[in-house]
Structure 1
């Protein structure tokens, strides 16, 4: 997969027509390129979340996250570290390669002292007061391609970069209900194969949320998002995730991805 993407990247950069017009690609190929972008075998990182309400009042939370691939299965665990009122809260997810298998997700709330399973039907719910959904936390800017029927909408300019524009309509009514959308529009930068801007339209066709990639860097050889902003156009609430200390080289133990460790914390 990697050589194909490298060849495409060379084509985009070296072609004299690149600045004016991207090579034509079908929507499925664009989404496949996003999903096959190499994001490393394992990752440890810290991140800060800034939550701002309609009146401009902001609160900040901090977390530590670990992610590792077990073959084609991706496991992620997140622990809240600050402030005190949320410290010890944890989220664990097993993202299975088989699209027919429901992914496993669990949430630990210290005040209740119990682990709660997040069902597949709840994956479109917001993650712990943020404007990102459980699905978006799990997928990390990638897309579950079986959830949508994709359509290429052409190309456009965004923040000085030419991007592919892809529209996705939920594959069926159950998926539309779970995700809470009528359609989604992605603006994808082929130089990095990341989505620079994603727009989510509610079941009535109104713009509900926007997620914007505001920063990225190459860390340990891997393209890495360093700042993401989600804006809820209905509530006026926004969430900014700023990622720090991303480490792809330190080994991540498989023992950290368990419900027992979720209860115990860091």
Structure 2
């Protein structure tokens, strides 16, 4: 998704979903499944923050680590605009590096993405063509961090199991991505994608992202207590190279009232205190 359904995912991997179910035994439409899954993956709460640790393992078993704090704030339009601010803590060669995203879903233009490299004191705009490249050497992609827009794919319900809606997603612009389609296993209760498999052709997937652990995180929303089932451990695997990246999300906090001006270019070189905590 331009800004995902994937994770997605990392956002899926980072920010959870309140437990909601379809009334009775009514089977939801594919449009409802996709909308609720996108919301569960990326948009829970008005904002969210926490610390993420990545363990990047190559095909020879060598491990590198990345740790960063992330702020996420939703825009005024429901499940559309959104902003991310990622501040790197470890290792020393990436410390103080910043990745920032302004999502523009459904506006006919690409997201704005910036990368600040402190070793060069350089702010770099990340082109739309780079969004499906590796995020700081991990097996997650830039697009996985801020998610993928459902409008970028066509969706079909393949089957329903006791636990999952299994959905096939085909890119509307296949020249812009390296995959032919991906299959998402979406939890029927929380609508969180628990596993995503990417295919270059029919047969075996070449890449997967899978949720390993979910915790319920309490918060307050509009003055009322809520619970967000939050993905706190996940793994992305490159089945061609044999590498994988395990990601752990710690100390998640929702609805802190983060200010809009935290997500501006002036903070790329001098990160706000909110992302240092």
TM-score tier, shorter chain, comes to 0.7 to 0.9
Residue matched to 2:49: 44
1:156-187 CA distances to partner (integer Å, 9 max, x unpaired)?
36xxxx21110011112xxx233311001000
Q: Which consecutive unaligned segments of at least 5 residues does structure 2 have?
A: 1-18, 220-226
Residue matched to 2:248: 242
Residue of structure 2 aligned with 1:150, choices 149, 152, 155: 155
* Gap change, CA 1:60 and 1:123, over 3 Å in 2: same
Residue of structure 1 aligned with 2:122, choices 87, 102, 114: 114
Q: Show structure 1 runs of 4+ deviating over 6 A.
A: none
Q: Which consecutive unaligned segments of at least 5 residues does structure 1 have?
A: 16-22
1:82-108 CA distances to partner (integer Å, 9 max, x unpaired)?
111110111000112324121111111
CA contact (8 A) 2:21 2:188 kept: no
Residue matched to 1:53: 58
- 1:7 Cα offset (Å): 5.2
Instruction: State whether structure 2 residue 70 is matched by structure 1 residue 65.
Output: yes
Which TM-score applies when normalising by structure 1?
0.84
- Higher RCO structure (Cα 8 Å, ≥6 apart): 2
For 2:191 and 2:115, locate their aligned partners in 1 and report how far apart those are by CA, in whole Å: 30
For 1:6 and 1:240, locate their aligned partners in 2 and report how far apart those are by CA, in whole Å: 28
Residue matched to 2:110: 102
1:131-178 CA distances to partner (integer Å, 9 max, x unpaired)?
111111002xxx411111111101236xxxx21110011112xxx233
Rg larger in structure = 1
Instruction: State whether structure 2 residue 142 is matched by structure 1 residue 137.
Output: no
CA contact (8 A) 1:122 1:178 kept: no
Residue matched to 2:214: 216
* Gap change, CA 1:171 and 1:200, over 3 Å in 2: same
Number of matched residues?
241
